[in-house]
Structure 1
Amino acid sequence: MESPSARTLGNSPGDDSGNGNGNGNGNGSGNGNTTMMPHGIYHERQTRHLCGLHALNNLFQGLDMFSKSELDDYCTTLTPRNWLNPHRSWIGWGNYDVNVIMYALQQRNCEAMWFDRRRDPRCLNLSAIFGFILNVPAQMSLGYYIPLPFQMRHWLALRRLNGSYYNLDSKLREPKCLGNEEQFLEFLATQLQMDHELFLVLEVETDCKDKCRQRWLLPQFRD
């Protein structure tokens, strides 16, 4: 059951008729369960294997949203073939790879930087980072009860909103508050100790100098 404090704005699972932002202008995005929490945080819930789509829309908080058809178009832009396209699931359920995520971010004047998990996240200049995307292992199952002997990968977004950091994972019923900067860095350190990949999302600065290119690092950690 949805949290009684959450107002449903978007579509039910598998319904591709709306745009998930509550304005009634259906565009076929199929973004699944969409809620706006009382504190104004936008959150899309998981449908099919569209975690990459949900992570992007949760990252940008529902503004200028991506759609499934848009990400599918990016797949064919990157590799011009529809059948067995290497950037998505062959059955058309999503499961987009990192190339699609990075290309999508570029369309919103952002870039993704892979963070070396051997580094301490306390080197990060959090004020210069728009948001974060984590890629984590996901156990596959038949239905909800029978685990399958292989794993896939799951995308989720992290972002600072209303003065606190939030886990906007589409598998959560609602966004999870991770706390202040110190608590968030502890969370990142824990994630990096596991088989999790962290990407930093930065807004592109066209007149960026050499020092600016390392703006995601605190000054004492830059080359």
Structure 2
Amino acid sequence: MDSERKLIYHERQKLQFCLLHSLNNLFQDKDAFSRANLNAIAEKLDLEDPNKTTRTPLSVIFKPHHNILTGNYDINVLIAALEERGKTVIWHDRRSGASSIDLDEPEDKFFGIVLNVPVRRYGGLWRSKHWIALRRVERVWYNLDSDLYTPYPFKNTEEIREFLDSVISTGGEVLLVKNSEE
């Protein structure tokens, strides 16, 4: 049966495009989203923003919802991209812990999980946030972190809950991605 197991799609990290990689990994499709798609979403959000900030010379590169050179997209781009694909994002209440997440909810309702975790790079000199996708494929949950060399299959739901609780305890955010009910 293992020989019949579906090949898991996994994009690796490039620059600060972890949101792009996370979305493609979540959808298990290298063409689910492109830089151009996410840039267009970010630009649209900027145009529609009623509270536009004052522009500076650096605004050409450091846009309100992303950095045009390196990526580094924000939560607004994630939510808009997922909503375009008929998904709903639910911010998990960190006070509840991971035990309140129904990881066995049917796949036609529960699409996956996106995490936003604090990271330190370059010996702690660079602090940032990193997007990670978790997705269930053929009843197995995978950590599809673009910083990992290969996808990591969780052994069981208890291991996922421990991982999610560690994300929450270190200041990370857990976003549940559901299929929209129409």
TM-score by length of 1: 0.68
Q: 59, 65, 83: which is aligned to 1:106?
A: 83
- How far apart are 1:120 and its partner, in Å? 2.5
* 1:28-55 alpha-carbon deviations (Å, 9 max, x no partner): xxxxxxxxxx741000001111000000
Question: Which protein has the bigger helix share?
Answer: 2
> 1:103 is matched by which residue type in structure 2?
A
Aligned to 1:49: 16
Distance 1:140 1:182, change over 3 A: closer
Aligned to 1:129: 110
Q: 95, 120, 134: which is aligned to 1:139?
A: 120
Q: Note the residue ranges of structure 2 that are not aligned, 5 or more in a row.
A: 48-54
Aligned to 2:96: 119
Q: 152, 155, 158: which is aligned to 2:128?
A: 152
Q: Does the 8 Å contact 1:166/1:179 carry over to 2? A: no
Q: 149, 155, 162: which is aligned to 1:173?
A: 149
* Structural RMSD (CA): 1.9
Q: Does the 8 Å contact 2:11/2:30 carry over to 1? A: no
> 2:39 is matched by which residue type in structure 1?
D
After superposition, residues 62-73 of structure 1 pair within 5 angstroms as 62=29, 65-73=32-40
Separation in structure 1 between the aligned mates of residue 126 and residue 30 of structure 2, nearest angstrom? 35
Verify: 1:87 aligned to 2:68, yes or no: no
Separation in structure 1 between the aligned mates of residue 66 and residue 97 of structure 2, nearest angstrom? 32
Helix, strand or coil: the match of 2:153?
strand
Q: Does the 8 Å contact 1:59/1:157 carry over to 2? A: yes
Larger radius of gyration: 1
Q: Does the 8 Å contact 1:132/1:157 carry over to 2? A: yes
- How far apart are 1:115 and its partner, in Å? 0.7
Q: Does the 8 Å contact 1:57/1:65 carry over to 2? A: yes
Distance 1:123 1:129, change over 3 A: same
Higher relative contact order (CA 8 A, sep 6+): 2
Report how many residues are paired. Answer: 163
Q: Does the 8 Å contact 2:113/2:176 carry over to 1? A: yes
Q: Note the residue ranges of structure 1 that are not aligned, 5 or more in a row.
A: 1-37, 142-146, 207-223
- How far apart are 1:63 and its partner, in Å? 6.7
Aligned to 1:61: 28
> 2:83 is matched by which residue type in structure 1?
Q
